[in-house]
Amino acid sequence: MTSDKNMPQGRHIAGKKISKHATEEFKGKKDYIFCPKGEAVYYKKSWHHVAKFFVSPPDKREKDVVFELCPTHQMEKNKQYEGEVIIRDVPEMFKKDLWGLVEGMGEAAMRKDVLHRVMTMKWAKDQLTVTTSENQLASRIGRKIKDTFKKHIAEHVIFPKGGDSDFVSVRVAFIKKEK
């Protein structure tokens, strides 16, 4: 297998995407790390749901058990996030449906990967602001809102931060009803 230096630019290496947080901060940890705030446990070089740990536990149990915040809860503690969705001019009749849509997408993302989740959802008059632990989740939420409320959306824009940052901001605006 060739090293990364020899790989042509723009070439994709097949395989499961590993969360950048897990590979950076917890690389090579030999212990079982349980998140005291959530349902995450770190073993076999990645984060898993706690239930999966107890259903099919790893073979060797001689390792130490450590309690540390998982990367997502650490981000929450530091008031950091990788994705932001701002939905403006939400008509009163869509508020409940929009909340349920975003909440459901967050739950589905967390079922797939314990580190992917909707971190906050806040209403301010007719604007909903959502923060996510992953930029792709924010993009998916924005696209889903656009697809679900097609006839009522005036604007859908994704702003990548660029540079070394993974941050993405998604703006969605509903069509304003004239009073």
Distance, in Å, from the CA atom of 19 to the CA atom of 115, rounded to the nearest integer, reads: 8
Which among 96, 104, 38, 36 has a CA at the least distance from the CA of 67? 36
Q: How confident is the model at residue 8 (pLDDT cuts 50, 70, 90)?
A: very low
Q: Looking at residue 12, what is its pLDDT?
A: 36
DSSP 6: G
- The mean of the pLDDT values for the chain is 81
Q: Looking at residue 56, what is its pLDDT?
A: 62
Q: Give, for 139, the enclosing helix (H) or strand (E).
A: helix 135-148
CA distances, 95 to each of 47, 92, 151 (Å): 34, 5, 16
DSSP 163: T
For 127, how many CA atoms within 13 A lie in the half-sphere containing its CB?
Answer: 9
Q: Does domain 81-174 have CATH number 3.40.50?
A: no
Residue 54: both structure tokens together: 């107890």
Q: Are 40 and 115 in contact (CB under 8 A)?
A: yes
pLDDT tens, residue by residue, 43-99: 788 888 887 666 666 665 567 788 999 999 999 999 999 999 999 999 999 999 999
Q: What is the DSSP string of 58-109?
A: -S---S-EEE---HHHHHHHTT--SEEEEEES--GGGHHHHHHHHHHHHHHH
Q: Looking at residue 10, what is its pLDDT?
A: 41
Backbone angles phi, psi at 60, to 5 degrees: -95, 125
Q: Is the pLDDT of residue 4 over 50?
A: no
Within the chain, all domains assigned CATH 3.30.70 are found at: 81-174
Distance, in Å, from the CA atom of 84 to the CA atom of 89, rounded to the nearest integer, reads: 17
% of the chain with per-residue pLDDT over 70 = 75
pTM equals 0.76
Across 100-113, average pLDDT: 95
Which among 44, 121, 27, 39 has a CA at the least distance from the CA of 83? 121
